[in-house]
Amino acid sequence: MRATFLAIVTMALLLSGCAGTTPAPVAERPIAAQPSQPAQSAPPAASPAKPVPGPTETERRTGFHIVKKGETLYGIALEYGQDYKDIALWNKLDNPNLIVIGQELRVVPPGEGQSAGGAVAIPLGSDKPSDARSAAASAPVKGAPKGGTLAYSDEAWARVQRGESQVATVKTESPKPPAPTQGKEDKDDVKPGTGVADDHINWAWPHPGPLVASFNDGNNKGVDLSGKLGDPVLAAAPGRVVYAGDGLRGYGKLVIVKHNNLYLSAYAHNSKVLVKEGQQVGKGQKIAELGDSDAERPKLHFEIRKLGKPVDPAQLLPRRN
């Protein structure tokens, strides 16, 4: 009986303890820091595509040409109004037929096509011109000695430096005027490259045939004259033959005559060439025979170029009746 009573009391105490117990507070504790791990490096950003390089410094240099696909030395010479042999010489080309794409070629004589003053060499890390230039600027300029018309000499200069201003004058003979030339020079006989009367040439038509195609800077860089096979082709002005051959595509058998520093003329599609390179020709001289080489029919294609740029021959040739 007593054991039953103790069991009931114990059960009651347990039930009352469970009913009166408040829930334990929940504390939010920070999670313990994990050992630092090496951060995974992000994949490198893709580098931006490099822009296509523009024209190089060489391509922008005045007086030079960069060879492009399909070009020949003969065509380049015609484009710049030069003798292809001169271009070959300036560029030390043993074979004019061997030029490659991207090759730099000088197309003006050495010393031309550059700034008149030239660049002053400035060493790295210095803001002053080179010593050689400075020394030249600081050196005394030797002028005419004082005290008369004494001709310059090292002795006279030394005497002036010593203050001996009273220098004996020496009578100098004035140059004699040149003797008058006999006869009158023909204004048409201007030697190529002399620069004399460069912009004045007394042109003549190279063939009397009718005009079948006029000048068009986009399609036709000259004029086309109709004729028969074997008709004479005449030099439009005196000059020197700088090309005679068939190495220029689209021109057939071609003759190019250089008249002076400004002008040259071209005669294309000939059936026969009668002159050689380097030969001097006169105005109206027969230099070729009309043909249809590299052309659809017999005709003479005639060009006049000024500094290599095609100009309308009809504007320079005399008017036809």
Full DSSP string of 84-146: HHHHHHHTT-S-TT---TT-EEE-S-TT-SS-SS-PPP--TT-SS--HHHHHHHHSPPP-PPS
Task: Say which CATH architecture domain 64-106 belongs to.
Answer: Roll (3.10)
Closest CA to 300 of 319, 281, 286, 280: 286
In this predicted structure, what is the pLDDT of residue 96?
A: 87
Which residue type occupies 218? G
Q: Which candidate, 238, 217, 233, places its Cα nearest to that of 305? A: 217
- One-letter amino acid identity for 243? Y
Cα of first residue to Cα of last residue in the chain, in angstroms, is: 160
SS (H, E, C) 164-176: CCCCCCCCCCCCC
> Given this model, what pLDDT does residue 120 score?
36
pLDDT, residue 133, reads 45
Q: How far apart are CA 188 and CA 177, in angstroms?
A: 26
What is the rounded CA–CA span in Å between residue 107 and residue 28?
A: 87
Which pair of structure tokens corresponds to residue 154? 């090292």
* Runs of H (alpha helix) within the chain: 2-20, 73-80, 84-90, 131-138, 154-161
Six-digit token pair at 170? 């020496």
HSE-CB for 37 with a 13 A CA cutoff: 4
Residue with tokens 């009651």: 12
Provide φ and ψ at 267, rounded to 5°: -130, 110
Looking at the DSSP bridge assignments, the partners of residue 171 are none
Contact yes or no for 73/99 (Cβ under 8 A):
yes
**Distance between CA 170 and CA 160 in Å, rounded?**
15
Question: Which of 292, 222, 227 is CA-nearest to residue 264?
Answer: 222
For the chain, residues with pLDDT lower than 70 are: 1-60, 113-197
Q: What is the predicted pLDDT for the residue at 123?
A: 38
Q: Residue 299's CB: how many other CB atoms inside 10 A?
A: 22
Q: In CATH, which superfamily holds the domain spanning 211-315?
A: Glucose Permease (Domain IIA) (2.70.70.10)
Per-residue pLDDT, 15: 54
Q: Give the total residue count for the chain.
A: 321
The Cβ-side half-sphere exposure at 183, using a 13 Å CA radius, reads 3
Task: Give me 259's structure tokens.
Answer: 């008249």
For the chain, give every domain's residue range.
Answer: 64-106, 211-315
Supply the pLDDT for residue 256: 97
Interior angle at CA 229, CA 223 and CA 234, nearest 5: 55
> Exposed/middle/buried for 2, CB within 10 Å: 0-12, 13-18, 19+?
exposed
- What's the pLDDT score for residue 233? 98
